[in-house]
Every structure is written in C-alpha cells, then in structure tokens.
Structure 1
Amino acid sequence: MFFKNFSEFLFDLYEEPIRVIDSTIENSKYIEIDLSIHNKVLNKLDVSSASTLGDYITNHIKKHNAHVAFGGYNETRNIYKRNTHFNDESSTERNIHLGVDLWCDVNTPVFAPLDATVHSFKNNANYGDYGPTIILKHDIKNVEFYTLYGHLSLSSITGLKVGEKIKQGEQIAVLGGAIVNGNYPPHLHFQIIKDIQGFKGDYSGVCSLQNLKFYLSNCPNPNVILKLGF
C-alpha cells in the first residue's frame, strides 16, 4: 500500500525526531554540511583521500561545536569521480546522493528507528561502495517500506539473520572505518526505500540525473523522520 504522499505519512508517524544514532545528542549538536559540487572549498581538496575529506568534515563539526554533521539528500557530488564504481564508459555518471549521511566517530552505535525485521545484509566491498550494509523491512500501519544502513563495521553483519525481529531503538550496528566502509571517513548512510525492487543487501544510494525522478519518488528524504534542522 502506497500513500499519495509517502513523505507526509513518514513525517506524521511521530511528532518528535526519530534517531538512528545516539538519541541523547540534541538537534543543536547536529550541523548541516555541504559536500556538493557547489562547495568551492571542497572542490580544491583531494577528496580521493579519506583522511583529507575526514579532516574537512571534522573541522566543520568542531567549528560549529557540534557532534554530528549531516546532509546529502538529493545532493550532486564530485567525490564519486574518484572511482569507477559510479562511473564507467557504459553508463551515465551517477553522482546524486539519495540518502542522508551522518558523519561522526567510528564505532558510533546505530539504532533501529522503528520496529522491523532484518530484510538482508551484505558486505558491498567495492572501492567507494557501502561496505557492510543492513536493510530493515518495516510494516507500520499496514504500510511496508525499507531502511538501509551503509558504511558499517564488519562485526555489524556477523551473526545477523534474515527475518530477525528488531525493536525500535534496538542497536543494530556500529560505524566502520575507512578500511572496511568503502574508503570514506566514518559515517552512516541512511536511506528510506518504498520498493526494494528485489535487491538484497544493497540498493542504489547514488543515481544519475537521468533516473533522478524515479529515485526521489522511491527514496523520500530521510529527514522527514529525523527532523534535523526543523
């Protein structure tokens, strides 16, 4: 069952923000970050280096006396130019981000935002990919949808079982470091998906301009439940 406006359905689930990392971190300790092609400072840096990109993000967090930097939904980025996983001669460039990224420390715990079952999980080990990934299936008020958690630690998918029941607020993972998470600074890629399209342990988190209309419809802005900056 799909609502005419799925984003409104998600927004109205709870009046208070729903968290996927430490719920004790207040909204005031989240700071938005621009990693788009329009960020002139970032465009002068070697973003092929996880440490260089990480230093930029860490300095941004410290400058604003925050704990977490967030953003990225429907954001066109240059950071995907560094590898062929998103760009090859046979496909249109995929550089538009479809989830919300939460940039914070390695080993930060990740929590289920809603009651769920484990739909699937996988180590997407390509350079620049998600690394260890978990997808949860939700059935809320008879509406089925999915949430994806990328860039986790390897331990997060060890011993996990498909169909396992997860309670809202239960810890499901911790964030991985650059060695396992696709060579990025530590962060959570959080994405909401209406139709999983048969994928298991993986789903496009970046798309091309050509396919943007479909993906924005199928993957609404996760901030409708996180309510960051509202």
Structure 2
Amino acid sequence: MPTSMLTLQEILEKHDGFAPVINSAKPFKKLDFSATNEALLQRDLSETSIFSDFVFKEMLVGNAFVGIGGYAENRIIYRQRKYFNNEAGQPRSIHLGTDIWADAGEPVYAPLDATVHSFAFNNHYGDYGPTIILAHTLENHTFYTLYGHLSVASLDGLYVGKNISAHQHFAAIGSYPKNGDWPPHLHFQIIEDIGDFKGDFPGVSSIQDQEYYLNLCPDPNLILRIKENDPPD
C-alpha cells in the first residue's frame, strides 16, 4: 500500500522508536473508572484530596505503581463534575485519551520530534489546567498529541512553532487545584485533525458522539505501547 494511502493508525502501528512519554521506574497498573468498579460507586470523590488519596493509596497500592488506562472508557467519575454535563441532556462520559496517574512533578517527554502547535491554561474546575498540544509529521501525515493537567511552569518559555525533540523533557505533571483540580495525572491524547482548536480539544465525548470522536482520536497506546504491570524500558 502506498504511504499516502495509509491511515494514521497504520502509520503509528508500523513506526518504531517512540520515546516513553513517562519514563518511570515503577510498574504500570491499569485503573478502572467505569461503573464496573464498585469501589467508585461507594464513594463521594467530589473532594479532590479524597479522590487523590483513593487513587494513590488504594488503587495504586500506596503509590507503588503508575496508573494507566481510560481510553474509550465510559466513566462514572464525571457525574460529580458539572463541567461534563450540559443542558442538552447529553452528558460527556466517554474518555478520548489515556490517563497516566503519577506524582506531581513527574517529567513528561516528547514521544517523537514535534513543534508546539498551541498551549493554554484551561483554568476551570474539571478542565485540563495547563495544556500543551504538539504537532508531528510521520510519512507526510501530520497529527497532534495533547498533554493535559500539566504544571503551570510547563508553559514557561513556550511559543507556537517551537521545536521539541523526541525524548525531550518539555513538561511535568501538575498538582491540584491548578491542574484542573484533579489528582495528579497526565491526560495524553492523539488527535488526527484538530480543526480550529488551539490549546484545547475535547477529551471526553457524549455517548451519542463517541463514534465520531474515537475515530478522530485513535488509541494513545499506539504511541505509548505500555503493557499493564510491565515496567517501562
């Protein structure tokens, strides 16, 4: 098949040499924030400090693991946050990226060469907080990766068009409340066509719109290539 006919998913599948986005020495453990996790149904996690303790002390066994997961997950945790509910009766609950739950300050690295497409401080309760979007080109195909819930300092010195090299430490996981008031984690998302968005892009869709957005935002593990309970290279 000619390169020009390959889909983004096929290009990512065949590419070798992605750098780790999180280069932690801890093993990875898959976390479940859907209704199948009965422990979630028994807790009020609207208070971020309680939510953070639940993630790191219980789900990650006293912070012994780095949490991973969430792509295409129908998450009940958004029910407690008004940001994901609208008057049209189509609450957003389908997660379009992968979350990596790690300590605030954990370095974030570029998985491949990039330029800064845009960045913003999305400073609303439940939003991304500090956000960076990188543009990449592989086999003449341009696509984007989004990094949400970063530290405020991650935005220092950025400008549109700035070159970021593969393996470069260009950001860090942020702490609440500046990170959108979430337990510390990185929201990592692949976006095929970003349209007119700058510094922001939907990271959660309604059930009605999930097919459109999941086609636009393929599985981040095409780049991350993280296996549950396997330590990174």
Normalised by the length of structure 2, the TM-score is 0.91
User: Counterpart in 2 of 1:62?
Assistant: 61
Question: For the Cα contact (< 8 Å) 1:21–1:111, is it kept in 2?
Answer: yes
Question: For the Cα contact (< 8 Å) 2:190–2:217, is it kept in 1?
Answer: yes
Q: Deviations over 1:136-173 (max 9, x none)?
A: 00011211000000000111112211000010010111
Q: Aligned partners of 1:82, 1:64: CA distance in 2, in Å?
A: 24
Distance 1:33 1:3, change over 3 A: farther
Question: For the Cα contact (< 8 Å) 1:147–1:192, is it kept in 2?
Answer: yes
User: Counterpart in 2 of 1:19?
Assistant: 20
**Between the two proteins, what is the percent identity of the paired residues?**
45
SS in 2 for 1:210: coil
Residue 149, structure 1, aligned to residue 150, structure 2: no
Aligned length: 225
Equivalent position amino acid for 2:68 in 1? F
Residue 137, structure 1, aligned to residue 135, structure 2: yes
Distance 1:203 1:91, change over 3 A: farther
- RMSD over equivalenced CA pairs, Å: 1.8
User: Counterpart in 1 of 2:199?
Assistant: 201
Q: Aligned partners of 1:213, 1:93: CA distance in 2, in Å?
A: 15
Q: Deviations over 1:104-131 (max 9, x none)?
A: 0001111101100000000011110000
User: Counterpart in 2 of 1:89?
Assistant: 87
Q: 2:122 aligns with which of 118, 121, 124?
A: 124
Normalised by the length of structure 1, the TM-score is 0.92
User: Counterpart in 2 of 1:33?
Assistant: 31
Deviation at 1:60, TM superposition (A): 2.1
Q: Which runs of 5+ in 2 are unaligned?
A: 229-233
Deviation at 1:84, TM superposition (A): 2.1
